[in-house]
Amino acid sequence: MGEVIVKQRLHKSTGKIVYEYAFEVASIDGKRKRKTKSGFKTKKEAREAGKLAQQAYEKVGVPIEPSTMSYSDFLDEWIEKSCKLTCKDVTVKGYEKKIRLYVKPRIGQYRVKSITKKILQDVLIDLFNEGFSQNTLSSIRAVFTKSFEYAEDNHYIQTTPAVKLTIPTAMQPKVQTRTKKHIYIPEDKRKMIFDRFPEGTTTYIPMQIAYRTGLRLGEVYGLVWEDIDFEHKTLSVNRQVQWFTPPPKPGEKRTVGGKRDSDGYWYFSTPKWSSYRTIDIDDELIEILLKEKQKQNKGEAYYAEYFTRYYCQQHLSFNGKKPQFSVMPMNEIQTDKTPYEIHFVTRRDNGTYVTTGTTKHSAHIIHHQLNYPEYDFHSWRHTHGTMLLENGADLTFIQRRLGHKNLDTTLNIYTNHLTQTIHDRSLQKLNGMFQPDN
């Protein structure tokens, strides 16, 4: 490696003394060539910049010009010149959403060359402490990793800072992902709700599943019939369903309620905290689901070619275990045919998908007509967990059944909730402790 030469120069515009570095590069047509750059305020600054450029040249054959571009502008370029050429549309949309909501507001103003590993790691830790899911954090880490790989490959930077970025797993976030008060639905309220939403209503099946399994909202509405094992009486949680709202188009106006004219779409993603699991289900739920499946089969035969069918962009897994293949972060649900048809559990007779939006309608009725304003759909999950505890279920069993990230989450929720049944059962055990053996 040749020597980096530093010379003093006179700036043409200002007349001030500046410094220039130079080093030899490969000759062309037998003629010696040099790489030079001027404008440095000090001799030391010029020499350090020259060494950096020379090292980069020797490594990849092209001198690196440290970029002054903001990370925000750079991400726009990365999306246009890399992602849109190599990634599926749904993946690009997922990256754009994460960049818009979480990356640009935090570090978009930084220069690409000034971003360090610590800055990126701190973003992930901050988001974790704010209660964001593992899925969201994984997607943001992917944005960091892939965008800086592009920056390195295209000589914006010498080496990527996005190496070995860690998503916290052995600690609790400062803010839980769900901070809303957990509501236990007592027996009289449960009867009142199921009387109002009996078999045949669109929310009957989702409510029964949530009540009898404790699944999360997105997990309930993400179920397909292949997840149900009628023979062994089990249900596998393999995914959740979510809604994607695209950014507004230029000049697009919002309508009443804040909705936009542009269309969004439903998509599958991995379960929260990657909580793949297979759980046992009771005989009554088996009967409810079996009757529903038979009803859907009749509807499919009746509507024939008019039966609405749905498809996704990647095949699904059904065994309640983390797939061995790479799961798309946003597996779009669509009516355009693909090799991967979806057999939703929550479906109308004509095949149309019963979405999570129906829970808003039922909640409005429960709040106002049934005069139970504390209710929300998540209350079924908390009710299921509380009933398990009332009946003596081990906390580890409850944790695994509900798909909590760890036992601490289960303890934080259920040790602070004392129903009369739990109190009475505990009192019986207390009295029994001091009874003499017969």
CA gap 208, 435 in Å, rounded: 41
Q: Is the confidence at residue 352, as pLDDT, over 60?
A: yes
378, containing H or E segment:
helix 378-390
Q: What integer pLDDT is reported at residue 250 of this predicted model? A: 56
Q: How much of the chain exceeds pLDDT 90, in percent?
A: 52
In the predicted model, what is the mean pLDDT of residues 230-235? Answer: 97
Q: Which value, in Å, is the radius of gyration of the alpha carbons in the chain?
A: 29
Q: Out of 224-228, 264-268, 406-410, which region has the weakest mean confidence (pLDDT)?
A: 406-410
- 271-293 pLDDT tens trace: 987 899 999 999 999 999 999 99
Q: Which domains does the chain have, with CATH numbers?
A: 5-60 (no CATH), 71-153 (1.10.150.130), 191-209+216-248+261-375 (no CATH)
234, containing H or E segment:
strand 234-237
Q: Is the confidence at residue 113, as pLDDT, over 80?
A: yes
Q: Is the confidence at residue 255, as pLDDT, over 70?
A: no
Q: What integer pLDDT is reported at residue 53 of this predicted model? A: 79
In the predicted model, what is the mean pLDDT of residues 251-267? Answer: 59
In the predicted model, what is the mean pLDDT of residues 116-122? Answer: 93
Q: What integer pLDDT is reported at residue 28 of this predicted model? A: 61
In the predicted model, what is the mean pLDDT of residues 244-253? Answer: 62
In the predicted model, what is the mean pLDDT of residues 2-26? Answer: 82
Dihedral (Cα; 382, 388, 393, 396), 10-degree rounding: -20
Of 424 and 400, the structure prediction assigns the larger pLDDT to: 400
Of 207 and 243, the structure prediction assigns the larger pLDDT to: 207
pTM: 0.62
User: Which residues 6+ apart lie within 8 Å of 72 measured at CB?
Assistant: 104, 108, 109
Distances (CA, A) of 135 to 100, 161, 163, 208, 328: 16, 22, 19, 27, 11
Q: Is the confidence at residue 25, as pLDDT, over 80?
A: no
Please, which pLDDT band fits residue 94 given cuts at 50, 70 and 90?
Answer: confident
- Name the residue with tokens 């054959």: 61
Q: What integer pLDDT is reported at residue 256 of this predicted model? A: 41
Q: Is the confidence at residue 2, as pLDDT, over 80?
A: no
**What totals of helices (H) and strands (E) does the chain contain, helices first?**
16, 11
